[in-house]
Chains A and B, each alone.
Chain A
Amino acid sequence: MAEGEEKMSCLENPVMPCAMTGACAVLSGFAGLSVVIHGSSGCYYYPRSILRTHLYSTYLLESEIVFGTVDRLQEVVSSLEAEGKPVAVVNTCIPALTGEDLANAFSGTDAVFVDSPGFSGNAEAGVKAAYDALNIQCTDVSAVNIDGICGLDLFARGNLHEAQRMLAVLGIPVRLSLAADSYAKLKEGAAPYSVSANPAWDSGVGENLGSFLFPDIKETLSALETRFPDADYAALEAEWKKADETMFYYADKYLHKYTPPVAAVAGMKSYCRFAEQMLTRYFGSDIAVSLPREEITDYTEISEKISAAEPDIIIGSTFEASAADAAFFGLTHPDRSRISMSARAVSGIEGGVMFLEGVLNALMDFQKR
């Protein structure tokens, strides 16, 4: 155990995917890159089902563990490379434990190797390992990257669209969306600056100028202005003000009828903070309990904390939804309370409005039961 690393105890029904899944979430965001999970089909099916994207696997067998897995890996990678596609290999627990030199099995090729076995940590560890392995270089192009887009985020697609829209209004070109772009573009290099749709899943590429989560937008626009002074900020500032007024208007209407909602929030730290700030600003709410995934992943412990808090609304995933008799808004993966097909956002100006609208509707639907 590394110095300072705290040993986690056993867990009941853990709510976070493993590092291998996190790595796949990043790599599969780059079109044109073939992602190979070097492990058994048992490891493959889960990321395949939640990311809903095309992934490959070596589908390892026990015999290959005994005699070494390099040949099987090379067989799969070679067949993909023969199609002219670059390949990324994501390692899993057993090949990582048996000590094969997999990283050097592809020396001299363009294959990316990500060592992120499940026992090495949660999804965020895998996200970091994937970005480290991609080794994205910055260029001096006058543009920004959109960061913090991740397949494990319920709102990834909507957040990306909203960030693209806002940057288009500003007239600032987008260089690269991380992780939702083409691999060929990634190889050409990133912009020197990034704005984040959701800081939980940031790549760390380029100088971070802030996030597009609603409470952060004004500060981020100021930071952008120092780097892109010629961009048109007035329109977005007016839009933000209008959205702010609209949200106050509807929150006021709610508060005329009801007391400020007491909330329990669960999710990645960035979304927890976002939800807390929004509820505090528009309702003057008390946040009864905030449960960041980076700090707590034991479902029973999470449920007990939420239940004890007696919240009016639970903002999190459907893992938490039944922890108390309360309204529910799905902010965190998974949300099985609804069928979701459209590109909804919680980041950006529209994302902020959508969030508050969702919270208000959830609260009022619950009141009407």
Chain B
Amino acid sequence: MQENISEKRLGGCALGGTLAVTAFIRDGITVIHAPQGCAHQMFSGFHAMMADAGLSRIPKVIVSNIQNREAIFGGEEALAEALDRAEEDSPALISVVTSCVPETIGDDTEGVCAAHPASERIVYIPASGFLGGSSQAGENTALIRLAALAEPKEPIPRTAALIGEKNLESEVEENYAEVCRLLNRLGIKVILRFCRNIEAAEIVRLGEAAFFIIRDERVEEAGITIANRFGRPYVSAFPSGLSGSISFLQEAGKACGIPEEEIAEAVFAEEEYQREQLAPFAELAGTSVALGFEPFAGCHAVAREAMERIGISESADGMPVKLPFYLPVGAAGVLKMLYLWRREKRR
């Protein structure tokens, strides 16, 4: 199959993806072996996201601060110094991630980590900046490496662990709430958000979950690897759209071993809920809309399903409407999209 070169080029760097996981272990510290600018980019991004969410905690990252000198003579000493500084805070876990620079200058990052007095609490994640691939590759690598901290245990009935939430998306908590709303219909409890504002000691709970819910295909590699390691079923993505919420309930119920009658009851209740939630958009019935560019694969399908339910038609010269950048999660994501459409109709 021919590679999609554009997509590869636009995928960001693995360092960013790795940090988007490790920085969300509350009692851990991430050490970045890189020039300070790489760390600033991530810190700045976290700061923006936290401000958006009204949170004051900013994840701590320590950067070895590779400069001209290290670029010429090597940066291992700078990394050891950064590890010493991290250790001063006695963190529960030190995640060490690399940018493209130490890979290019030939630093033995793994060796420095292994030789450090705190090595037992250090997890080395070879992100390697863009030399390690895209942001997606970094996320998967980080999740797989961190999952190695957990061992299989007896699964707790009706429990789930989420894998690979998009920590940097602005609606991450709203999406989580929607997933929980659906799981509540089946009496399923989320015991771990791997890794979303958790403590390092909680990672072991991966082994207790009855099944896993993978955020989306972006972290499919990590999700399937983890599921196979623990020998547990998984649901491959958060629910997208209206019928997606129904199939999510069916898949989650099945993965959790819930009786079919109980799943059917949950599905019936959700269908009723969706009908109620769509009622305020009845004024859009008979409207013709132009969907335009599809920002994320599957958005059009989700939108068209909602249109069919309400009685909205589609035409190229219809009212231009906005689509969510990512797939709308659950019914809640669809409703937010429809509010934007209703505003367009009313203005």
A, B from the same assembly: yes
Number of interface residues of A (CB under 8 A): 49
Is A300 part of the binding interface, using a Cβ–Cβ cutoff of 8 Å?
yes
Is A179 part of the binding interface, using a Cβ–Cβ cutoff of 8 Å?
no
Instruction: Determine whether the beta carbon of A41 is less than 8 Å from that of B11.
Output: yes
Is B183 part of the binding interface, using a Cβ–Cβ cutoff of 8 Å?
no
Tell me how far the C-beta of B164 lies from the nearest C-beta in chain A, rounded to whole angstroms.
19
Interface flags, A313-348, vs B, CB<8A=1, else 0: 000001100100000000000101100000000000
Instruction: Determine whether the beta carbon of B62 is less than 8 Å from that of A65.
Output: no
Q: Chain B CB within 10 Å — which of A9, A14, A43 has the most?
A: A14
A17 to chain B: which residues have CB within 8 Å?
A: 37, 40-41, 44
Instruction: Determine whether the beta carbon of B69 is less than 8 Å from that of A42.
Output: no
A264 to chain B: which residues have CB within 8 Å?
A: none
Instruction: Determine whether the beta carbon of B130 is less than 8 Å from that of A60.
Output: yes
Segment of A90-98, A103-111, A197-205, A250-258 in the binding face: A90-98
* B11: nearest chain-A partner, CB-CB: A41
B85: contacting residue among A12, A42, A98, A120, CB under 8 A: A12
The total of Cβ contacts below 8 Å across the A-B interface reads 149
Tell me how far the C-beta of A292 lies from the nearest C-beta in chain B, rounded to whole angstroms.
16
Is B66 part of the binding interface, using a Cβ–Cβ cutoff of 8 Å?
yes
Instruction: Determine whether the beta carbon of A10 is less than 8 Å from that of B62.
Output: yes
Segment of A18-26, A127-135, A136-144, A180-188 in the binding face: A18-26
Is B67 part of the binding interface, using a Cβ–Cβ cutoff of 8 Å?
yes
Instruction: Determine whether the beta carbon of A119 is less than 8 Å from that of B101.
Output: yes
Is A190 part of the binding interface, using a Cβ–Cβ cutoff of 8 Å?
no
B104: contacting residue among A13, A60, A97, CB under 8 A: A97
Q: Provide the bound-state CA to CA distance between A18 and B44, in Å.
A: 12
Is B320 part of the binding interface, using a Cβ–Cβ cutoff of 8 Å?
no
Q: Provide the bound-state CA to CA distance between A40 and B105, in Å.
A: 17
- What class of interface size applies to chain B in its complex with A? 35 or more
A43 to chain B: which residues have CB within 8 Å?
A: 13, 130
B135 to chain A: which residues have CB within 8 Å?
A: 42
Is A297 part of the binding interface, using a Cβ–Cβ cutoff of 8 Å?
yes
Tell me how far the C-beta of A24 lies from the nearest C-beta in chain B, rounded to whole angstroms.
12
Instruction: Determine whether the beta carbon of B48 is less than 8 Å from that of A334.
Output: yes
Tell me how far the C-beta of A295 lies from the nearest C-beta in chain B, rounded to whole angstroms.
14
Residues of A within 8 A of B (CB): 1-2, 7-21, 39-43, 45-46, 50, 59-62, 65, 93-94, 97-98, 117-122, 297, 299-300, 318-319, 322, 334, 336-337
Known: A40-B130, A93-B35, A97-B101. 16 other contacts (CB 8 A): A1-B69, A14-B36, A14-B63, A16-B37, A40-B12, A41-B13, A42-B129, A45-B12, A59-B9, A93-B100, A118-B35, A119-B37, A119-B68, A121-B67, A122-B36, A334-B48
